[in-house]
Structure 1
Amino acid sequence: MEVETKGFRLDLSRAVWQKSSRSGPSCDNCVEVAFVDQAIAVRDSKNPTGPVLIFTADEWDAFVGGAKDGEFDLD
């Protein structure tokens, strides 16, 4: 699968997907991440042929920073 977005042309068929360390056998919200060229791809591990989100390095850093800071915590 090849995608073109945000100035990237990415061949996702060769991506090496890594399951989130927060995923587990009893978790329904599992994601996988692949670092492809200058971009980061994210997909639902239960639907590997489904849609893929593509992030730039800056977008990914902002997301990870927000997650570490608790920006997305449900209070």
Structure 2
Amino acid sequence: MDDVTPEQLRDAMWRRATRSGDAGDCLEVAPLPGGRVGIRDSEHPEVGPFVVSGSVWRAFVDGARKGEFDF
């Protein structure tokens, strides 16, 4: 996969879950070129995102739906 450029990260369509409300303490995700997914802290977007492959993202979402990360 190609590296994601700073411009692509800046221009990405970042979104957060509607359940997170306006508190600001949530994660944002964005689809990126090459099938990657960016994940960032909505309170500190300047820190930069963590970028994962689409398959890693899908595995995480599947696990979250199944409650694998519940505390």
CA contact (8 A) 2:38 2:49 kept: yes
Q: TM-score, normalised by structure 2?
A: 0.81
Gaps of 5+ in 1: 1-6
Number of matched pairs: 67
- What CA distance in whole angstroms lies between the structure 1 residues aligned with 2:67 and 2:2? 30
Gaps of 5+ in 2: none
Structure having the larger proportion of residues in strand: 1
CA RMSD of aligned residues (A): 1.5
Structure having the larger proportion of residues in helix: 2
Q: Which runs of 4 or more aligned residues in structure 1 lie more than 2 Å from their structure 2 counterparts after TM superposition?
A: 25-28
% identical equivalent positions: 37
Q: TM-score, normalised by structure 1?
A: 0.78
- What CA distance in whole angstroms lies between the structure 1 residues aligned with 2:54 and 2:23? 30
